[in-house]
Structure 1
Amino acid sequence: MQMLFQWDMSQQDPPKLEAKFWKSAKGADKTREFANQLFEGAAKDVAALDDIIGKHCENWRFERLAAIDRAILRLAIHEMSSSDTPPKVVLNEAVELAKKFSSEESGAFVNGVLDSVLKSLTVT
């Protein structure tokens, strides 16, 4: 999530951003690999992810989303659709990230958007 946020703010080349990020962040090799895969996938698919987010943000324009909320939603939607992590776990983690890094209201907002996305993924 932090790498996605930094990327959204700076549009740096993902490998360069990862190298800078891991100089100061700690994580086991498997954690780094998983985080890098999620970041790279979400950055690569940002247009499609933003389209999904826009469709599920009722009464809210995508442009008005806080950058941190965008990063959380992009990451969660990408992880839900591309990993073996149970979607409900991804949703709960995203809500906790929103509460910690954004605001209490963002937690409810992220929950609503991701719940709508999850329902649409299970219907198709």
Structure 2
Amino acid sequence: MGVRRQARECALQIVFQLDAWPNPSVSDADDAIARFFDNFDAPDERARTLASAMARGVTEKRKGLDELVQKHSPRWKIPRMAMVDRNILRVAAWELSSDAETPATVVIDEAVEIAKRFGAEQSAAFVNGVLDGLARELGRLATAGRGPDGRFDGTADGKSERAPSDMSVSRNG
């Protein structure tokens, strides 16, 4: 397991603990981070440092992250989401909005894998859908190949030059 994956999983567990607190502060996050690493080993110092930064960042920006996540999950209010799912989304949303260096597809794929490991059966699909919309809003994912309705239309620029009836395949070779 890579350093960033270790960090994401540790950050998830820390923000999961903090989710029970109504309005945690960065100081509360620091306490939770210290308790977490006193009880669990981070295999790599870099993972520990990154997990700590992620947990602090999520705690500091939790309200804004929740608003961003909520915007892309209109059928599920934040308090109704499974705790694991909403905290995976918070960590990934923080990373998408704070770390332009890591490609959005990597952040989303990692969040989906973490959801498969820690979440329920439908968690991975839910996390993927919410983060895809969120990343597009933040300009982190291209919308090439999608028409005005957001659906894939098979072109590189999202504008079909031929009508569907013109796209038939010739059987004559």
TM-score by length of 1: 0.92
Structure (1 or 2) with the larger CA radius of gyration: 2
Match of 1:25 in 2: 40
Match of 2:129 in 1: 112
C-alpha RMSD of matched pairs (Å):
1.5
Distance in 2, matches of 1:19 and 1:61, equals 30
Match of 1:122 in 2: 139
Match of 2:19 in 1: 8
The number of residue pairs the alignment matches comes to 123
Identify, as 1 or 2, the structure richer in helix.
1
Superposed displacement of residue 60, structure 1: 2.2
Superposed displacement of residue 99, structure 1: 1.3
Amino acid of the structure 2 residue aligned with 1:106:
S
Secondary structure at the counterpart of residue 85 of structure 1: coil
Distance in 2, matches of 1:79 and 1:30, equals 16
Q: Which has the higher contact order (CA 8 A, sep 6+)?
A: 1
Superposed displacement of residue 29, structure 1: 1.5
Q: Unpaired segments of 5 or more residues in structure 1?
A: none
Q: Unpaired segments of 5 or more residues in structure 2?
A: 1-11, 141-173
List structure 1 segments (4+ residues) > 2 angstroms apart after TM superposition: 58-63
